[in-house]
Amino acid sequence: MGTHRPADSRVPAEIFVHEALYYRDLDEFYAGTGAFVRAGLDADEPILVAVPEPRLALLRSELSGAGERVRFVDMAVAGRNPNRILPWVLRAFAAEHWHRRVRIIGEPIYVGRTPDEVASGVQHEALINVAFAGVDAAILCPYDVERLAHVDTRADLTHPVIVAGGERRESSSYTDPYAVVASLNQPLPEPGRVDETLVFDAQGLAGVRRLVGKHADGVGLAAEGVADLQLAVTEICTNAVTHTGSAAATLRVWSDGDRVVCEIRGAGEIADVMAGRAVPSLDSPRGRGLLIANRLCDLVQTFTAPTGTVTRLHMRLSPT
Amino acid sequence: MATVTSVEALAPGDHACLTFSDPDERLDIVAAFVRDGLSRSTKVMCLTESIPPDRLSAELVERGVPAAEALPVNQLSIFGSAESWLADGEPNAAKMIDLLGRHLDDANREGYTGLRVTADMSWVTRPIAAADQLPIFEAEVGKLLGDGRLTAICQYDREIFDAVTQAFAAAVHPHAVAAVVYYEDPVLRICRQHSPPGVRLAGEIDYSHVEELTLALNEALRLDHDIQVNLAKLRFMDAAAAAAITHAALSLPTGRVMSIVCGGVVLRMLRLVGATDLGAVRVVRAHGD
């Protein structure tokens, strides 16, 4: 399946398969994911299942016969920040089994995601096509189409193949992933209230850390979350004042519901759409800032333009 | 005036002062001095004051000195001030010199190649201490050193000695031992660690001092087979600095080890960049983590 060259030239003709599974109920979820996993078991391929609860537990018991051969990961934890899924979940699994074809079920957009998380999830789905181009892998992404009916998932734009009602078809609206990402690169809405503003330069990073620590601590973020936010903010602030040759950048901090948000505004445009989702080689001296922020924060939003880049780092007060 | 010497370079007959403000630096240099003495078959005597004898032996062990083996056989002895300077109630330089002379004779008789002495000089600042005993002691030690069997380091704590006494100490000692400091400013200090050999960082480090860190790591790797990167006193490290440590660890051939003492956010960052997964790296959890 899926290894033939598609008629539509926009669909990558690859050993890589990226399918959306549209399910309307648990039976369709079981049928679609079960068939996908069984094909992997038959071919003796390493299998990763990354879906949120309760489907994770349901699928685990459904597939209990497979034993150790299937790895289960709670997507709501490992993929809480959708930007984190590609480098730290999918690519990490593929890298672990670099000599084998891997098979992955990933459900990044599920009921309960906030609109900003969904937008981040759509970018993630588009960039899977870039990151896995030429990789020997099959990825199936379940979508709860009934309950996500009013959510802008754009799954038929980001998946070359759609599986629905037991039928497999090529997606006629599959779109160049770079175009999908570009369409979501939009100015971020202004917050209602900003608690702290600080203009800083390369000498001011320790001051940035102190300000972020004080605010996050003051609004009740747990100590480990405070430390993680300080690490992440430092990395993004470093990028803002070093990559661009610009002298100064601006930090703003506020609270939004149960989240602490730190925004870094600096000169320079991010040219590489994979920034923060690609893991540099171990001996690379730099290029990890956004990647680390993605790993540590609950959501990372970016708006980048020739006039500058805005990055927002969100940390939830109550861990999921 | 004293010439600055590395503790490893001290030779029999040398008389050095160690003027310190960082307690870790003092213990590091004392540990290297004791370690080298034990491995060169000399007897070693530590006269301690601000650190109780039990704690000093524990600190030495922690820094890789085989104190637990050397203490029972009297190759190493550690005396608090109650057993040395204050044994008669008040400091007396002549009696101290007698004590040193006896230990030197013992070392000779027992077949050791000589005696190493390191003395915490803070007894001088005790209320009952007679400051006039200090110049007598330093002058007499100088005479004992004449025949090349004794090696001595006198420790002066910058925090408690006045400038005049520090200047006297610098003048009367032919050598001064100090840690090599690669970088120092109010928020970051990078220096060589002598025992175990390696590099010690304190404060906060980011991309702006990666060059100095790399220099220090490279020198440590040139000097020693296995090194310790001591980050116990480092409060913050960014990805660029963690990448520099990763890069150094990656350059190690099979069989050589970099142990990293760290905890908290520093350990977290090392994990994030993948340093902790490397075959050459051993993570040692810092105290209080």
* Closest by Cα among A284, A312, A295 to A231: A295
Is residue B170 domain-shared with residue B199, that is, in the same domain? no
Please tell me which of the candidates B240, B269, B274 has its beta carbon nearest to residue A286: B240
pLDDT value of position A2: 37
* Residues B101 and B154 grouped into a single domain: yes
pLDDT above 90 as % of chain B: 70
Number of compact structural domains in chain B: 2
What order do you get walking across the sheet with B197-205 strand by strand? B181-185, B188-194, B197-205, B227-237, B258-262, B281-285
Per-residue pLDDT at A114 exceeds 80? yes
- B271 → chain A, closest CA residue: A292
pLDDT on residue B94 = 84
Looking at the structure, tell me whether residues B191 and B281 fall in a common domain.
Answer: yes
B136 & B69 share domain: yes
Mean pLDDT of the region A186-206? 95
Query: Sheet holding A17-23: strands in order across?
Result: A70-74, A47-51, A102-106, A137-144, A17-23, A161-164, A167-170
> Which of B177, B200, B234 is the last residue in one of the domains?
B177
* A285/B240 Cβ within 8 A: yes
Nearest to A283 among B206, B247, B265 (CB): B247
The answer, yes or no, to whether residue A320 has pLDDT greater than 90, is no
Q: Does one domain contain both B94 and B74?
A: yes
Within 8 A of A238 by CB-CB distance, chain B residues are 206-207, 238, 240
pLDDT at A12 over 60: no
Between these two residues, B178 and A228, which has the higher pLDDT value? A228
Chain B residues near residue A285 by CB distance under 8 angstroms? 210, 240, 243-244, 247
% of chain B residues with pLDDT over 70? 98
Q: What contacts A27, CB < 8 A, 6 or more positions away?
A: none
How much is the pLDDT for B4? 85
Region A254-274: mean pLDDT is: 93
Please answer yes or no on whether B206 and A205 come within 8 Å at the CB atom: yes
Residues with Cβ within 8 Å of A240's Cβ and at least 6 positions away in sequence, in order, are A246, A249, A264, A265, A266, A267, A268, A309, A311
Return the ∠ at Cα A121 (arms to A190 and B271), rounded to 5°: 95
The reported pLDDT for the residue numbered B203 is 95
Question: What does pTM read for this prediction?
Answer: 0.86
Domain boundaries, chain A: 17-184, 196-316
Instruction: Examine the pLDDT at B87 and tell me if it is beyond 80.
Output: no
Cβ atoms < 10 Å from Cβ of B214:
17
Contact B243 A284 (CB under 8 A): yes
**A234 and B204: CB-CB below 8 Å?**
no
Identify the band that residue B97 occupies on the pLDDT scale cut at 50, 70 and 90: confident
Number of residues assigned to chain A: 320
- Are B138 and B188 contained in the same domain? no
What span, in angstroms and rounded, lies between the C-alpha atoms of B104 and B92?
19
**Distance of CA A52 to CAs A143, A145, B79, Å?**
12, 15, 64
E strand or H helix at A105: strand A102-106
Confidence of residue A244 (pLDDT cuts 50, 70, 90): low
- State in Å, rounded, how far the first CA of chain A is from the last one: 37
Nearest CA in chain B to A202: B208
pLDDT above 50: residue A156: yes
pLDDT at A11 (0 to 100): 40
Same domain, B120 and B188: no
Average pLDDT (B115-140) is 83
Three-class SS of residue A140?
strand
| pLDDT for the residue B249 | 97
Task: Give the pLDDT confidence score for residue A65 in this predicted structure.
Answer: 81
C-beta atoms of A202 and B244 within 8 A: no
pLDDT at A9 over 50: no
Which residue range forms the structural domain that includes residue B108? 3-177
pLDDT digits 0-9 by tens, B204-244: 999 999 999 999 999 999 999 999 999 999 999 999 999 99
**Residues facing A168 on adjacent strands:** A163
Tokens representing A28 are 């369709």
Q: Find out whether A317 and A220 touch, Cβ atoms under 8 Å.
A: yes
Across the range A71-81, mean pLDDT stands at 96
Q: Check if CATH label 3.40.50.720 holds for domain A196-316.
A: no
Residues B10 and B150 both lie in one domain: yes
pLDDT at A6 over 50: no
Q: A17-184 belongs to which CATH class? A: alpha beta
Residues B255-283, mean pLDDT to the nearest whole number: 96
What pLDDT score was predicted for residue A242?
Answer: 85
Across chain A, what does the average pLDDT equal?
A: 92
- Rounded to two decimals, the ipTM of the complex is 0.88
